[in-house]
Structure 1
Amino acid sequence: MEVKQTFIEFLEVIPDGAIVINSQGLIVGVNQAAAAMFRYSSSSMLELHLNELLPEGMREKHDQHLEKFFKYPGRRSMGNGLIFPAIRRDGSTFYADIMLNQLDIEEQLYGIAIVRDYTLQKKSEDKIRLELEFEKRQALTDHLTGIMNRRAFTAQLQDEINQLEAHGTPFAVSFIDLDDFKEINDEHGHHFGDLVLQKIADLIRLHSRHTDYVARIGGDEFATIHPMISAEDARLMMHRLRCQLVSGIGHAELPVTLSIGLCQCDKPSEHYTIEGIMARADKAMYQAKSEGKNAVVLTS
């Protein structure tokens, strides 16, 4: 049954694109706005299947939705407005906001799709999303060195604590402090001091495992988290790291050594806290300094 001409004329009053389909999904009515949006003439869109306006990968699922749509009158399974990638006649794609509602004309059930070009809004939303993601990364990144900041470090540390309590997964935390950094700033200036900090961050990241986390948590203080590691392996790793860092620092002619405090966390029943772990690692680091600096001290 054809949709009455008076109804077709009414479609032109609708400011958005309007497409009428029968229960087989065939287009039986379309206004100029919809035809222009998809770059067809109104007549050439008639008898097309609605899913021909969608990417091939979506068509089977769309047909299933359409079948349910017509099978249950009054239930608008697709009637709340959805964003679809759509295909124009020339093969170009755009995002369309489509709302499909049921329409009963002379006891014959049809569907009417109200369609809006969502491209500009989609681009705007994508831009906002990327900006928010960038701001989130910035909020968790140390601006000078590009590694994690204290906020990101504490969040990751809490996650490691949760993993230990839930699954018994051990981890180690280190505090790394540059010995006599104040003298470096006083003698060479803060710009040189910043270069030293950047180089140290690069070296720590270079000589850590890809599963480790590296952060700058204060002026000249760095910290690392080493998941799934034993106390002895952690101690040996930090000794190697210290030696490699000192070698790298010497090669770069950076006049610093490192004192490292290491805290091993491997007892699920101990109820570790962020503050407790950081205090232990910090105390071990100061012990390394009091014992002559440029050393690693392990605590548990």
Structure 2
Amino acid sequence: MDERLKYAPCGYISITHEGIVTEVNQTFLDMMGYAQEDLVHKHIESIMSTANKLIFHSYFYPFINLDGHVEELYLRLKDRQGESIPYILNGRRYEMEGVEIIDCVLVQMGKRIDYELELRSAKKQMENAYWEKDQALVKLKQIHMEIEQKQQELMDINAVLVELSYTDKLTGLKNRRFVQEKLEEQIIRYGSTQEPFSICILDIDYFKKVNDTWGHQTGDEVLEKLADILISHSLHKDVVARFGGEEFVMILPDMDVHESKVKAENLRRAIANVAWEKINITVSIGVATVTPQDSDTTILKQADLALYASKENGRNRVTHIIDLNEKSL
């Protein structure tokens, strides 16, 4: 971390998309009484109360996924002694070498007590007016109705924001965050039912050449068309998502090794046989089927290894991780 940033007159924290702290400046550590090892590689929510975790999930993640930034989010964070310290948080998302990082600036709220006193005073005045005047009572009821209406509108907006936070803006498919949550659900379901599921990772072959030759607009059109093809070849229970860049993921519930191989091969052929406008497009596919030893992380890794093998062996092909494991025996 840059020396000036390390001692900047405000707190600075970098977190991953999953909320894991990767960097924190000395200013924030001094304000909160922590050492580097107390926070780095820990989840940022580890220093939040349950109420503030709820605020963080309701506002921070939807806005950071939708707009790429969050401004003036009020939070309370626990210092080393467990005291609740008020902060204003501004955050911005960016990618570096394909890795998503969220930088957060935290400014301590020194006048929070004054604000709370003002709110208490306003509440007292409202209560007095409520009991003293019938006209104020009627107006207060009207205000309550308006607040309820606004709360419902806010809930509706939050529901839309949550949906958008799970959606890839370009293709309309689900995104990486959604895939990770669904994989966790599938692993839990497998543990209780032993019903198999498989996962495919598809990567467009030589996609950089498409962008370099025809431009990023054509590249976007290819991504959108591929998304349509994947949707048209999926079942209602399948999860189809853009994992990032030119990579797509399909979660295939109730599909064993053989079925997933057939499914992946049919997809590969369908994509290769489509009449693409400017350039022939093919995909390499890696497939993995859940085993009792798998977690949501390991099955993704297995499918990724299979994808790498497809690319290494000439592209435009399907590889199931079980085939690689059998060859290594």
Q: State the TM-score, normalizing by the size of structure 2.
A: 0.54
Q: Deviations over 1:227-283 (max 9, x none)?
A: 1112111111111122122223x2555521011000011x3x32x122211111111
Offset of 1:220 from its aligned partner?
0.5
Mapped pair 1:177 → 2:199 = no
CA deviation after TM superposition for structure 1 residue 123, in Å: 2.3
The answer as to 2:213 corresponding to 1:211 is no
Q: Which of 253, 260, 263 is the equivalent residue of 2:288?
A: 263
1:230 aligned partner: 256
Pairing partner for 2:246 from 209, 217, 220: 220
Which of 302, 305, 319 is matched with 1:280 structurally? Answer: 302
TM-aligned CA deviation for residue 117 of structure 1: 6.9
Cα distance in 2 for partners of 1:132, 1:141 equals 14
Letter in 1 for 2:299: I
Q: Could you list the per-position Cα deviations for residues 23-47 of structure 1 after superposition, in whole angstroms to 9, with x for gaps in the alignment?
A: xxxxxxxxxx5xxx9xxxxxxxxxx
> What letter corresponds to residue 308 of structure 2 in structure 1?
Y
Task: Quote the Cα distance in structure 2 between the aligned partners of 1:15 and 1:262.
Answer: 69
Partner of 1:245: 271
SS at structure 2 position matched to 1:145? coil
- Please state whether the residue corresponding to 1:225 is helix, strand or coil: strand
**Native 8 Å contact 1:16 1:116 kept in 2:** no
Contact 2:204 2:282 in 1 (8 A): yes
Distance (Å, rounded) in 1 between the aligned partners of 2:132 and 2:296:
65
Shift of 1:118: 4.4
What's 2:312 paired with?
Answer: 290
CA distance in 1: counterparts of 2:142 and 2:136, whole angstroms: 6
Contact map agreement 2:272 2:280 (CA 8 A) in 1: no
- Whether the aligned pair in 2 keeps the contact of 1:259 and 1:294 (CA below 8 Å) is yes
What amino acid sits opposite 2:301 in the alignment?
A
Q: Quote the offset at 1:289 in angstroms.
A: 1.6
- 1:192 partnered with 2:218: yes
SS in 1 for 2:173: coil
For residue 5 of structure 1, what is the aligned residue in structure 2?
none
Q: Give the residue type in structure 1 aligned to 2:201.
A: F
Q: Check conservation: 1:261, 1:298, Cα contact below 8 A.
A: yes
Q: TM-score, normalised by structure 1?
A: 0.59
Provide the identity percentage: 29
Q: Which structure 2 residues correspond to residues 1-300 of structure 1 after superposition, within 5 A?
A: 13-15=133-135, 118-248=144-274, 250=275, 252=277, 254-265=279-290, 267=291, 269-270=292-293, 272-300=294-322
Query: Higher RCO, 1 or 2 (CA under 8 Å, sep at least 6)?
Result: 1
Number of the residue aligned with 1:46? none
C-alpha distance in 1 between matches for 2:132 and 2:211? 74
The whole-number CA distance in structure 1 between the counterparts of 2:320 and 2:255 is 13
Q: Return 5+ residue gaps in structure 1 as ranges.
A: 1-10, 18-32, 38-96, 98-114
The root-mean-square deviation of aligned C-alpha atoms, in Å, is 2.2
1:299 counterpart letter in structure 2: I
The CA distance in 2 between the partners of 1:182 and 1:193, in whole Å, is 9
> Which has the larger displacement, 190-199 or 272-281?
272-281
Q: 1:198 offset after TM fit, Å? A: 1.0
Q: List 4+ stretches of structure 1 deviating above 3 A.
A: 11-17, 115-119, 251-254
User: Do the aligned residues in 2 keep the contact of 1:208 with 1:241 (CA within 8 Å)?
Assistant: no
Q: d(CA) in 2 for partners of 1:182 and 1:254?
A: 12
What is the identity, as a one-letter code, of the residue corresponding to 2:231? R
The answer to whether the Cα contact below 8 Å between 1:260 and 1:284 also exists between their aligned partners in 2 is yes
Q: How far does the alpha carbon of each residue in 1:125-152 deviate from its partner, in whole angstroms, 9 at most, with x for none?
A: 1221121112111211111111111111
- Counterpart secondary structure, 2:195: coil
Does the CA contact (< 8 Å) of 1:158 and 1:274 recur in 2? yes
**Amino acid in structure 1 at the alignment position of 2:165:** A
- How many residue pairs are counted as aligned between the two chains? 192
Quick one: distance in 1 between partners of 2:264 and 2:175?
A: 20
Q: Is the 8 A contact 2:223 2:246 kept in 1?
A: yes
Q: Which one has the bigger helix percentage?
A: 2
* C-alpha contact (below 8 Å) 1:200/1:245 kept by paired residues: yes
Structure 2 residue runs without a partner (length 5+):
1-130, 323-329
Q: Distance in 2 between matches of 1:279 and 1:151?
A: 16
State the alpha-carbon separation in 2 of the partners of residues 121 and 273 from structure 1: 45
Does the 8 Å contact 1:196/1:254 carry over to 2? no
